[in-house]
């Protein structure tokens, strides 16, 4: 076949295969037998092999996988992927509804969708072509899993309009695929996956894309990050648009005019739950109007215009085989129940939380008891009670030890606390847990340093305090189990990169009592660098928003310790950044920009920069962004195809700029 003919045939095959794919995997209406599809795919692959220059970025041949990666790159999401607030019962839903109505009035409708139990992903399209897909990660930064996502046949590699958008969806493993996969794993003497969600996550984090391709994953897409920029006014219209573009959306969605209607619908869906071919763990309720969504805005963690209703906990009975004790980062001893494996809420459970000694006593939980295990969604299962009438006489009361199971120092109970603690500062378990915390995602976020590697490093005495991490060498790491040259290189690179982290990650990683990741950020922003924070008095700390008595005391005590000051100067010498490098809130009086102190609304589509960048740039000049136009608005910046907000601004006689005006002011 000459080149011209090959080119024509490749294009033809790509089109046919895309069509087959769409019919089979998105519409669920296959028009040809599988054998026909396979034959066309083989033909395409062999033609592309003959003419590699004719293989396009959106060719369906990529569906079969083939790329083998070294590691996943980090990706920053265009707009953050937030998680939703939870509702566990009717009252929570009524409260949500009341808050919504208080904010936007009574004219509210809700779009109700199933909450698929899978892995949230973000898909980026440039001019209609799928260019990048990422995991949710910490919401701001995820991992680039593009090649694996391409193997999901319901993800279009090209959409029906040349849009540049980021869509969000839930990748999942259908129940039948999950069961078949686990059966095979058992046959091969491999550990079966605990649930479809773990199986989906594990498949998408395969470095060998051929494995992911074999896992039969699927996806439901549920939102476009830049909906309001493309002229859509409601969540439900957004879902219809996704259908039009060629995405697979879940068809169980409904509109409800009242929260009572939502509650009724949830009851129906609960009974249908077992019939779906995929696992769901709840229902998502969203305010349908995007204008109202913007008016409602966000809390620090989640949007105020949506809530996830979680199905209630399921309970099962199984036998308690043993009680294991572990020592946490702060020395707290936690008992864990080891159970005869049992299936509950879609997962196999072998361990469950017993919380603390008091709970064991209060519920009179004994070894070999038949216990009630409770589990809801992704919440850790817990032992809820004992079936006392099923006792045979073989049960044994459990006695907490007097000594730390790891370092054998005497355990103490601090007044006012239920937990037993090991207070030996040299306790190896605490040090190891502290190291694991230091490298974890919300702390220093060092890829490739999980619990397993840290435990090895600690055992081999290569690392005994966090500063040792920054002294690790290639020669030391290569000796560890399951560490190839490539993983060592990657690991050293991510350790090196973590030195550049903004101060709040270090603060959180150090594990100061009561200082969570949010408080760490607040402190880092306020004090700018560790030297200023170190010198801060309790009074100065209390002046900071959201820093309370306990936190202030904990910070002061922490920086009084000689060994902490030594550790910090070591880290500084090793090149670890100790300054806040994130975006800073600018006070209006410190800025001479026109934006300073003004309340500004951005609407319509910007062409020169993303809306998020524009927002950050304006805030950096002391401007305040608002979601909706009101009398309090000082300035409206209208991009292309601006809609109702522009009209309202005109009605209220508010100053209106276009994008060019804004860019000019930003350049000053
Ligand atoms: Zn100990």
Q: Are 601 and 633 in contact (CB under 8 A)?
A: yes
Per-residue tokens: 188: 């091969």
Which residue is associated with the tokens 């692959």?
45
Sign of torsion over alpha carbons 40, 44, 45, 46 = positive
Per-residue tokens: 543: 């002046």
CA–CA dist 668, 60 (Å, integer)? 48
- What mean pLDDT comes out for the span 117-129? 93
Q: Ligand 1 centre from 382 Cα, in Å?
A: 25
Q: Ligand 1 centre from 328 Cα, in Å?
A: 9
What are the angstrom distances between the C-alpha of 402 and each of 158, 357, 359, 412, 518?
64, 12, 17, 8, 36
**Closest to 300 measured CA to CA, from 477, 76, 517, 504:** 517
Q: Ligand 1 centre from 423 Cα, in Å?
A: 7
- What mean pLDDT comes out for the span 45-56? 88
Q: Ligand 1 centre from 326 Cα, in Å?
A: 10
Residue 311 DSSP label: P
Give helix 659-667 / helix 611-620 axis angle, nearest 10°. 40
What average pLDDT does the structure give for the chain?
89
pLDDT tens-digit series, residues 10-30? 999 999 998 888 888 888 788
Q: Ligand 1 centre from 351 Cα, in Å?
A: 22
pLDDT at residue 203 in the model: 92
pLDDT band, residue 261 (cuts 50/70/90): very high
For residue 175, with 0-12 CB atoms within 10 Å meaning exposed, 13-18 middle and 19 or more buried, which class applies?
Answer: middle
- What mean pLDDT comes out for the span 100-115? 94
pLDDT band, residue 588 (cuts 50/70/90): low
Q: Ligand 1 centre from 520 Cα, in Å?
A: 27
Long-range contacts, 68-71 (Cβ 8 Å, 24+): 68/207, 68/208, 68/209, 69/147, 69/207, 69/208, 69/209, 70/207, 70/486, 70/490, 71/207, 71/447, 71/448, 71/486, 71/490
Q: Ligand 1 centre from 357 Cα, in Å?
A: 17
pLDDT band, residue 346 (cuts 50/70/90): low
pLDDT at residue 586 in the model: 67
* Percentage of residues in the chain having pLDDT higher than 90: 49
pLDDT band, residue 587 (cuts 50/70/90): low
Whether pLDDT at 654 is above 80: yes
Whether pLDDT at 119 is above 90: yes
SS3 535: helix
C-alpha angle 551-555-559 in degrees, rounded to nearest 5: 170
- What are the helix (H) ranges across 205-351? 209-213, 235-245, 259-272, 290-296
Per-residue tokens: 169: 């969806």
pLDDT band, residue 78 (cuts 50/70/90): confident
Of 153-157, 189-193, 352-356, the poorest mean pLDDT is in: 189-193
Concerning whether 115 is annotated as a catalytic residue, the answer is: yes
The residue annotated as part of the active site, out of 115, 150, 158, 286, is: 115
- Which of 183-192, 252-261, 417-426 is modeled with the greatest confidence? 252-261
- What mean pLDDT comes out for the span 609-613? 78
SS3 255: strand
Per-residue tokens: 15: 């089109």
pLDDT tens-digit series, residues 161-182? 988 999 999 999 998 898 889 8
pLDDT band, residue 228 (cuts 50/70/90): low
SS3 518: helix
pLDDT at residue 378 in the model: 60
Strands in 218-224's sheet, in edge-to-edge order, are: 129-135, 119-126, 165-172, 218-224
Whether pLDDT at 377 is above 70: no
pLDDT at residue 577 in the model: 97
pLDDT at residue 462 in the model: 93
Q: Ligand 1 centre from 401 Cα, in Å?
A: 12
pLDDT tens-digit series, residues 134-153? 999 888 889 999 999 999 99
Q: Ligand 1 centre from 429 Cα, in Å?
A: 6
SS3 636: strand
Which residue is associated with the tokens 């949010």?
518
Q: Ligand 1 centre from 55 Cα, in Å?
A: 60
- What mean pLDDT comes out for the span 360-384? 86
Q: Ligand 1 centre from 396 Cα, in Å?
A: 26
Per-residue tokens: 38: 């396979």
pLDDT tens-digit series, residues 449-508? 888 899 999 999 999 999 999 999 999 999 888 888 888 999 999 999 999 999 999 999
| Residue 238 φ/ψ, nearest 5 degrees | -60, -40
* Percentage of residues in the chain having pLDDT higher than 70: 98
Of 14-28, 319-333, 576-590, the poorest mean pLDDT is in: 576-590
- Which of 93-97, 628-632, 642-646 is modeled with the greatest confidence? 93-97
Q: Ligand 1 centre from 495 Cα, in Å?
A: 28
Q: Are 222 and 168 in contact (CB under 8 A)?
A: yes
CA–CA dist 344, 71 (Å, integer)? 34
Q: Ligand 1 centre from 505 Cα, in Å?
A: 26
- What mean pLDDT comes out for the span 336-365? 86
Q: Ligand 1 centre from 404 Cα, in Å?
A: 5
């Amino acid at each position: 076949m000459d080149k011209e003919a090959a080119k024509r045939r490749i294009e033809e095959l790509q089109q046919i295969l895309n069509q087959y794919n769409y019919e089979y995997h998105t519409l669920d209406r296959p028009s040809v037998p599988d054998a026909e599809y396979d034959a066309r795919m083989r033909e395409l692959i062999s033609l592309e092999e003959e003419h590699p220059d004719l293989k396009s970025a959106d060719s369906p041949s990529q569906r079969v996988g083939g790329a083998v990666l070294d590691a996943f790159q980090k990706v920053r999401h265009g707009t953050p992927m937030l998680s939703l607030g939870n509702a566990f019962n009717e009252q929570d839903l009524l409260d949500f509804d009341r808050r919504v109505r208080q904010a936007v009035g009574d004219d509210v409708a809700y779009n109700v969708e199933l909450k698929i139990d899978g892995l949230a992903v973000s898909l980026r399209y440039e001019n209609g072509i799928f260019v990048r897909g990422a995991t949710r990660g910490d919401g701001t930064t995820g991992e680039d899993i593009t090649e694996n996502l391409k193997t999901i046949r319901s993800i279009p590699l090209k959409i029906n309009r040349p849009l540049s958008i980021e869509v969000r969806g839930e990748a999942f493993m259908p129940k039948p695929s999950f069961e078949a996969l686990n059966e095979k794993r058992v046959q091969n003497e491999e550990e079966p996956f605990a649930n479809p969600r773990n199986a989906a996550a594990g498949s998408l984090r395969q470095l060998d894309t051929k494995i992911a391709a074999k896992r039969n994953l699927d996806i439901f897409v549920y939102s476009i990050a830049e909906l309001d920029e493309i002229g859509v006014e409601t969540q439900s219209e957004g879902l219809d648009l996704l259908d039009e573009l060629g995405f697979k959306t879940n068809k169980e969605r409904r509109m409800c005019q009242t929260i009572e209607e939502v509650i009724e619908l949830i009851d129906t869906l609960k009974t249908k739950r077992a019939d779906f071919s995929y696992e769901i763990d709840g229902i998502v309720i969203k305010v349908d109007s995007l204008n109202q969504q913007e008016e409602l805005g966000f809390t620090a963690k989640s949007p105020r215009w949506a809530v996830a209703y979680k199905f209630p906990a399921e309970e099962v009975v199984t036998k308690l085989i043993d009680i294991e004790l572990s020592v946490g980062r702060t020395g707290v001893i936690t008992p864990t129940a080891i159970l005869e494996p049992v299936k509950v809420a879609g997962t196999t459970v072998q361990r469950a939380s017993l919380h603390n000694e008091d709970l064991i006593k209060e519920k009179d939980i004994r070894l070999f008891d038949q216990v009630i295990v409770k589990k809801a969604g992704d919440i850790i299962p817990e032992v809820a009670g004992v079936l006392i009438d099923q006792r045979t006489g073989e049960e044994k009361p459990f006695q907490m030890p007097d000594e730390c199971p790891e370092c054998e120092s005497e355990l103490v109970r601090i007044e006012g606390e239920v937990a037993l603690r090991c207070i030996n500062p040299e306790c190896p378990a605490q040090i190891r847990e502290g190291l694991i915390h230091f490298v974890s995602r919300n702390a220093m976020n060092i890829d490739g340093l999980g619990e397993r590697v840290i435990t090895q490093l600690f055992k081999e005495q290569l690392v005994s305090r966090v500063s040792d991490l920054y002294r690790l060498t290639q020669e030391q790491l290569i000796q560890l189990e399951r560490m190839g040259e490539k993983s060592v290189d990657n690991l050293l690179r991510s350790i090196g990169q973590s030195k550049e982290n903004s101060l709040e990650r270090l603060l959180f990683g150090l594990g100061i009592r009561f200082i969570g990741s949010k408080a760490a950020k607040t402190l880092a922003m306020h004090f700018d660098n560790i030297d200023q924070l170190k010198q801060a008095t309790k009074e100065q700390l209390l002046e900071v928003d959201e820093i309370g008595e306990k936190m202030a005391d904990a910070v002061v005590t922490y920086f009084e310790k000689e060994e902490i000051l030594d550790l910090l100067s070591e880290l500084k010498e090793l090149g670890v950044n100790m300054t806040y490098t994130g975006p800073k809130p600018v006070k209006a009086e410190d800025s001479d920009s026109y934006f300073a102190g003004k309340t500004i609304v951005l609407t319509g589509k910007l062409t020169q920069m993303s809306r998020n960048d524009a927002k950050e740039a304006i805030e950096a000049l002391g401007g305040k962004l608002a979601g909706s136009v009101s009398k309090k608005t000082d300035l409206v910046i209208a991009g292309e195809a601006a809609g109702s907000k522009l009209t309202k601004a005109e009605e209220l006689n508010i100053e209106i700029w276009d994008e060019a005006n804004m860019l000019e002011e930003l350049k000053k």
